[in-house]
């Protein structure tokens, strides 16, 4: 059996949802998987900005294994490149340990431009296989947890339903970095966080007069049986704007009846967040450490990233 490569436009999203449910049945995180292993979720993810590519391996017409990748724009120091986030790696239980995952991934990487960057946040089963195939560990996103002591809304932080030109101006003027990152353009942010297919996020911007000074994206989640708020993505031009955004997240968290606020990223530093009530904890204490891995021919330029939990497709 050899995998075949299809475009998202030709995918059977209902079949993919049922297949993913079967592959992960009985594993930890059942409640959250029930929210993402749906027809609507795969339509959203596989058509985010440009169509995803899906490698499928079938026996007698039945799906046995699959692996998908969707494109995003990356940048480091103003140098643009195309990134493909690998996701939805799955093989039905009776067919595991037969090399099907490796075959599906090879079909994806061999048919896409060699200058592109392949990255992902694999689970504990897939990570060793990626390592054996030459993928590199870049970072493990640090978890931050706490109760942000703020009871009132911040007047200069405003909710937005869509991102626009002022956001793009902010990204162009302040969003450059020598570290590789997903370009958080208004097109990306609207597709990622403002889609009617995934109406679970609340987006806010900090403003100084007419100028945007930063943004923060929030959602709720049950973690260890407790309702928490999650900072999915955030950026600020300075420490004051960042503090205001995080304080507003604390107010929003209380509005939603959440016990605490959490985030995963590799940009914050422990001492910077203590005054906001957030502390860094060991990633091993979390049910699923977010391990970032990368592959591609660009060498060391892909080994230094800025990343937030929102860069992972799982939440």
Q: Are residues 56 and 157 in the same domain?
A: no
Identify the band that residue 175 occupies on the pLDDT scale cut at 50, 70 and 90.
Answer: low
Q: What are the residue ranges of helices labelled H in 37-164?
A: 39-46, 100-111, 126-132
* Residue 94: CATH number of its domain: 3.40.630.30
Q: Are residues 117 and 147 in the same domain?
A: no
Tokens 């030459």, located at residue: 134
pLDDT of 298: 60
Range of the domain at 97: 4-140+292-311
pLDDT of 267: 85
Q: Are residues 229 and 300 in the same domain?
A: no
Cβ atoms 243, 197 nearer than 8 A: no
Q: Are residues 124 and 230 in the same domain?
A: no
Q: What percent of the chain has pLDDT over 70?
A: 95
Identify the band that residue 202 occupies on the pLDDT scale cut at 50, 70 and 90.
Answer: very high
pLDDT of 72: 96
pLDDT of 274: 78
Cβ atoms 263, 281 nearer than 8 A: no
Average of per-residue pLDDT across 39-47: 94
Average of per-residue pLDDT across 270-298: 82
Query: In the structure encoding, which two tokens stand for residue 167, read together?
Result: 């956001």
Q: What percent of the chain has pLDDT over 90?
A: 70
Q: Are residues 136 and 148 in the same domain?
A: no
Overall domain count for the chain: 2
Q: Are residues 179 and 276 in the same domain?
A: yes
What CA dihedral angle connects 68, 215, 265 and 83, to 10 degrees? 30
pLDDT at 270 over 80: no
Query: In the structure encoding, which two tokens stand for residue 38, read together?
Result: 């749906």
pLDDT at 300 over 60: no
pLDDT at 44 over 80: yes
Identify the band that residue 286 occupies on the pLDDT scale cut at 50, 70 and 90.
Answer: confident
pLDDT of 301: 61
Chain centroid to CA 94: 30
């Amino acid at each position: 059996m050899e995998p075949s490569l299809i475009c998202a436009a030709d995918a059977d999203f209902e079949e993919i949802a049922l297949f993913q449910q079967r592959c992960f049945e009985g594993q930890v995180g059942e409640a959250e998987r029930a929210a993402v292993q749906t027809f609507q979720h795969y339509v959203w993810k596989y058509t985010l900005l440009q169509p995803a590519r899906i490698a499928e391996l079938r026996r007698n017409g039945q799906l046995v294994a699959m692996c998908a990748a969707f494109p995003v724009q990356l940048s480091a120091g103003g140098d643009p490149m195309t990134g493909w986030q690998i996701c939805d790696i799955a093989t039905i239980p009776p067919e595991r340990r037969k090399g099907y995952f490796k075959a599906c991934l090879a079909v994806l990487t061999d048919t896409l431009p060699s200058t592109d960057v392949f990255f992902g946040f694999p689970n504990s089963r897939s990570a060793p296989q990626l390592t054996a195939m030459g993928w590199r560990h870049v970072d493990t996103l640090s978890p931050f947890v706490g109760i942000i002591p703020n009871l009132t809304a911040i007047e200069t932080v405003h909710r937005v339903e869509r991102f626009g030109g002022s956001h793009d101006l902010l990204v162009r003027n302040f969003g450059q970095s020598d570290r590789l990152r997903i370009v958080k353009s208004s097109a990306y942010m609207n597709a990622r966080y403002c889609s009617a297919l995934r109406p679970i996020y609340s987006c806010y911007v900090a403003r100084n007069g007419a100028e945007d000074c930063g943004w923060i994206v929030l959602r709720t989640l049950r973690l260890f049986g407790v309702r928490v708020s999650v900072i999915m993505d955030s950026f600020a031009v300075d420490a004051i704007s960042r503090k205001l955004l995080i304080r507003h997240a604390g107010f929003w968290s209380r509005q939603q009846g959440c016990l605490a606020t959490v985030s995963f990223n590799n940009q914050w530093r422990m001492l910077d967040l203590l005054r906001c009530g957030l502390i860094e904890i060991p990633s091993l204490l979390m049910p699923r450490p977010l391990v970032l891995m990368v592959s591609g021919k660009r060498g060391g330029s892909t080994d230094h990233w800025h990343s937030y939990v929102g860069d992972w497709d799982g939440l």
